[in-house]
Amino acid sequence: MPVSFEEFRSALPHAPARDAWGLVLTDAEAQQVAADEQASRAWYDYLLATTAPVASEPAAAPLGGHELPVAAAPGFAAAPPPAPAADPWAPAPAESPERKSRVGLWVTLGIVGALLLIAAIVTVFALTTARHWTKIDVPEKPETFHSEEYETGKYLVADDGVSPCAVDQDWTDCIGLMEAEYAGACAGVDLVPASADLCAQHRAEIDRMIAEDADGMYVASLGDFGHLTRTPETATRQVSNDDAEPAVTHEAVCYLGFLGECE
């Protein structure tokens, strides 16, 4: 049973109804046709003409005898006849902007993901192959020294060659003066070898005079043994200035041979 015009007009925006009637209209076109009564009437007449029982005479076209009894809404062309079979070699229909947008988004996400993966691989490789080394910020300062004079603990003895005795002096008194010179310079100290020899000569001379001493003896002449003078022996040594300073360093890291602190 044919639908009424109002039923047709109200069902026209629904795709299942259009597909059942064989009407080739998009949703936007169907809504515009339904909103226009004249256009709706033309499409309704077309539906009735295409679904009417076969008669002895063909149904007259509603638009001046044309075989396509379809009146279009303002801005629409008349509905075309059924589309021919699809050409397998025809180009695919253009994708909708929304589908293109989704494809572009996935492509962008894929590129970003690949870049992130590459960055992660490079980072792991850089960390595992990093070279650690000690970098010198301030070189080591070596210790310096200065010369210093010091006493060795030994003594020097000098003989001035002027005898402490006098001619015609009592022999025993002269021995006493010689003993005093020896005791003041040679006794009880550590002498350098040359001074030890000098003091040994004085000791031998004093012992000779003691051996020859007798009552009534006087000094007839003065010998070569004179006054003795003792002084500490000194030497020079190198003493540290205590100014050595260690090098200032820090641990440096070199990545991939050119990033960070590389030699």
Predicted confidence at residue 96, as pLDDT, reads 62
Rounded mean pLDDT of 89-100? 59
Query: Same domain, yes or no, for 182 and 232?
Result: yes
Tens-place pLDDT, residues 201-237: 999 999 999 999 998 899 999 889 999 999 999 999 9
Q: Is pLDDT at 92 greater than 80 in this prediction?
A: no
Is 263 among the domain residues?
no
Is 1 among the domain residues?
yes
Kindly report the number of other CB atoms within 10 A of residue 199's CB atom.
22
Is 177 among the domain residues?
yes
Query: Same domain, yes or no, for 152 and 236?
Result: yes
> What region does 47 belong to: left with phi over 0, alpha with psi -120 to 50, or beta?
alpha
Predicted confidence at residue 43, as pLDDT, reads 93
Kindly report the number of other CB atoms within 10 A of residue 185's CB atom.
23
The interaxial angle of helices 27-35 and 37-51, nearest 10 deg, is: 110
Amino acid at 75: G
- Report whether 173 contacts 209 (CB < 8 A): no
Query: Same domain, yes or no, for 70 and 155?
Result: no
Predicted confidence at residue 198, as pLDDT, reads 97
DSSP 76: -
More confident residue, 214 or 52: 214
Query: Same domain, yes or no, for 44 and 115?
Result: no
- Report whether 185 contacts 226 (CB < 8 A): no
Specify the DSSP element, H or E, that contains 240: strand 228-240
Q: Give the chain's domain count.
A: 3
Q: Is pLDDT at 59 greater than 60 in this prediction?
A: no
Residue at token pair 């010689």: 178
Is 117 among the domain residues?
yes
Specify the DSSP element, H or E, that contains 116: helix 97-128
Spatial neighbors of 148 by CB under 8 A, at least 6 apart, are 236, 237, 238, 239
Rounded mean pLDDT of 165-179? 95
Residue in 148, 150, 157, 245 with CA at minimum distance from that of residue 200: 157
Query: Same domain, yes or no, for 71 and 101?
Result: no
Query: Same domain, yes or no, for 227 and 187?
Result: yes
Is 137 among the domain residues?
no
- Report whether 149 contacts 236 (CB < 8 A): yes
Is 50 among the domain residues?
yes
Q: What is the mean pLDDT of the chain?
A: 83
Please provide the DSSP assignment of 124-178 as one string. Answer: HHHHHT-EEEEEEEE--B---EEEEEEEEEEEEEEE-S--SS-TT-BHHHHHHHH
Query: Same domain, yes or no, for 81 and 104?
Result: no
Predicted confidence at residue 93, as pLDDT, reads 53
Cα–Cα distance measured from residue 118 to residue 122, given in angstroms and rounded to the nearest whole number: 6
Is 135 among the domain residues?
no
Structure tokens at 107: 């492509």
Predicted confidence at residue 58, as pLDDT, reads 42
Q: Is pLDDT at 90 greater than 60 in this prediction?
A: no
Is 232 among the domain residues?
yes
Cα–Cα distance measured from residue 251 to residue 259, given in angstroms and rounded to the nearest whole number: 15
Query: Same domain, yes or no, for 83 and 114?
Result: no
Amino acid at 217: M
Q: Is pLDDT at 260 greater than 90 in this prediction?
A: no
Residues facing 234 on adjacent strands: 151
Structure tokens at 4: 């009424």
Instruction: Quote the domain boundaries for residue 37.
Output: 1-87
Question: Predicted confidence band at 104 (pLDDT cuts at 50, 70, 90)?
Answer: confident
Predicted confidence at residue 24, as pLDDT, reads 85
Query: Same domain, yes or no, for 150 and 220?
Result: yes
Cα–Cα distance measured from residue 209 to residue 218, given in angstroms and rounded to the nearest whole number: 11
Predicted confidence at residue 206, as pLDDT, reads 96
Q: Is pLDDT at 71 greater than 80 in this prediction?
A: no
Predicted confidence at residue 21, as pLDDT, reads 87
Taken in order 13, 14, 16, 20, the sign of the CA dihedral is negative
- Report whether 166 contacts 203 (CB < 8 A): no
Query: Same domain, yes or no, for 68 and 1?
Result: yes
Looking from the CA of 177 toward its CB, the CA atoms found within 13 Å total 16
Query: Same domain, yes or no, for 195 and 109?
Result: no
Tens-place pLDDT, residues 123-171: 999 999 999 999 999 999 999 999 999 999 999 999 999 999 999 999 9
Query: Same domain, yes or no, for 14 and 36?
Result: yes
